């Protein structure tokens, strides 16, 4: 058994943060029932890049191992079916604007009256309260407003976004944490609860180191490129072959680093033996390291540094990283067989629990593929009612 087998999740979320979270729950064994709009489904089904059979690779990335049903939440009968599903669920995830679920008769108070044990997670941009509660936003908007964008990039360049949708991804992880915490609380109290999770709050929580500097020194940190504000060396340097190598380390790594690079004068300077001294002479140290690294090729120097236990990492492209033999050895890339797109690779969930064998990644569902099976098997609807609901456009 996988850890969450027996847990049922009703998933009203779309696009990224919510679907990422429910995919993780599905990978861990939960049965995830994804509620989608008749006709179109999750908006991400239309996102690029598209595959030869017409499916979206974006949708594939965040919707594996789920069951898809189509349901019109504007229709009274659709709302009734959604309530019946929630009454049988352990976890509900939604990421509509505040008040939307209440408007459809699916708010927390209504569903908790039917199912007191329901862990109900509302994931929104700014939360259910506060002056920005009614604002809309995307990942990059939250990166901008939270200060993350101001910290990303080089000092002499404009602010930059993080190279992945960090606001969405980290919010997705917090949805998972919320679900697991709610299930543990329910085990103790017998009751679920309503989680008000704001993407803006999640991004603010990522500012822990910046906040520590502000609180301690009243100093607003700026962009430092690949350099670390509190450690020297810790940044990327360009090598002779054009590649980049990130070199880091603590005091015990300083002498071995200088030895590999032939910087014997720096190694012998007592003022540079401790990080505090190197911080005070950051520009001198950086210039000497950059000149020495520029005479070596990336992969050769990386191996030479690792041979003396100096932390170093080649700055790889995403393609290089996914082809890394360590990633392969860890089983991070699996495959699923899709009914229209054939065999397709997928990143696996990184959690490894003792000797639990996790199966190949689940298949992303075709739109509405499980509507009849779920409504018949879980709610007991018969074929005549399914036909009527389909004719009305409710499913």
Quickly list DSSP for 141-169: HHHHHTSTGGGSS-TTS-----SS-HHHH
The three-state secondary structure class of 260 is: helix
Per annotation, catalytic residue among 27, 139, 168, 382? 168
Q: Is 64 left (phi over 0), alpha (psi -120 to 50) or beta?
A: beta
Please tell me the distance from the alpha carbon of residue 216 to that of residue 223, in angstroms, as a whole number. 19
What is the C-alpha separation between 19 and 263, in angstroms, rounded?
A: 51
Token pair belonging to 2: 């996988």
Question: For residue 382, which phi and psi values (nearest 5 degrees)?
Answer: -95, 175
Strands (E), the chain: 8-11, 31-36, 67-70, 91-94, 119-124, 193-198, 235-238, 244-247, 312-314, 333-338, 342-347
Distance CA 45, CA 51 (A): 11
Q: Tokens at residue 171, please?
A: 């919010």
- The reply to whether 139 belongs to the active site is no
Query: Mind telling me the catalytic residues?
Result: 168
């Amino acid at each position: 058994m996988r850890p969450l087998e027996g847990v049922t999740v009703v998933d009203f979320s779309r696009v990224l943060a919510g679907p990422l979270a429910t995919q993780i729950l599905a990978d861990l064994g939960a049965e995830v029932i994804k509620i989608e709009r008749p006709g179109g489904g999750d908006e991400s089904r239309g996102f690029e890049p598209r595959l030869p059979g017409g499916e979206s690779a974006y949708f594939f990335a965040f919707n594996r191992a789920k069951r898809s049903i189509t349901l019109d939440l504007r229709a009274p009968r659709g709302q009734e079916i959604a309530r019946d599903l929630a009454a049988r669920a352990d976890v509900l995830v939604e990421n509509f604007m505040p008040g939307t679920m209440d408007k459809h008769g699916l708010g927390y108070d209504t569903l908790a009256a039917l199912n007191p044990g329901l862990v109900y997670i509302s994931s929104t941009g700014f939360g259910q309260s506060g002056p920005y509660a009614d604002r809309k936003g995307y990942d990059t908007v939250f990166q901008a407003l939270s200060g993350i964008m101001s910290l990303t990039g080089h000092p002499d360049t404009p602010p930059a976004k993080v190279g992945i949708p960090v606001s969405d991804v980290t919010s997705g992880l917090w949805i998972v944490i919320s679900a697991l915490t709610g299930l543990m609380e329910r085990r103790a109290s017998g009751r679920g609860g309503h989680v008000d999770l704001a993407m803006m709050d999640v991004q603010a929580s990522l500012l822990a180191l910046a906040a520590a500097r502000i609180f301690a020194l009243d100093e607003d940190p700026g962009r430092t490129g690949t350099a670390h504000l509190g450690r020297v060396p810790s940044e990327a340097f360009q090598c002779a072959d054009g590649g980049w190598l990130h070199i880091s380390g603590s005091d015990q790594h300083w002498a071995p680093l200088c030895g590999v690079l032939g910087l014997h004068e720096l190694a012998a300077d007592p003022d540079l033996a401790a990080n505090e001294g190197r911080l005070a002479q950051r520009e001198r140290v950086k210039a000497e390291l950059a000149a020495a690294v520029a005479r070596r090729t990336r992969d050769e120097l990386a191996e030479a540094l690792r041979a003396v236990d100096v932390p170093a990492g080649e700055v790889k492209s995403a393609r290089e990283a996914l082809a890394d033999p360590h990633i392969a050895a860890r089983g991070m890339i699996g495959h699923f067989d899709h009914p229209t797109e054939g065999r397709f690779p997928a990143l696996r969930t990184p959690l490894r629990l003792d000797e639990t064998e996790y199966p190949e990644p689940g298949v992303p569902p075709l739109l509405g593929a499980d509507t009849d099976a779920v409504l018949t098997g879980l709610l007991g609807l018969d074929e005549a009612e399914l036909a009527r609901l389909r004719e009305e456009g409710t499913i």
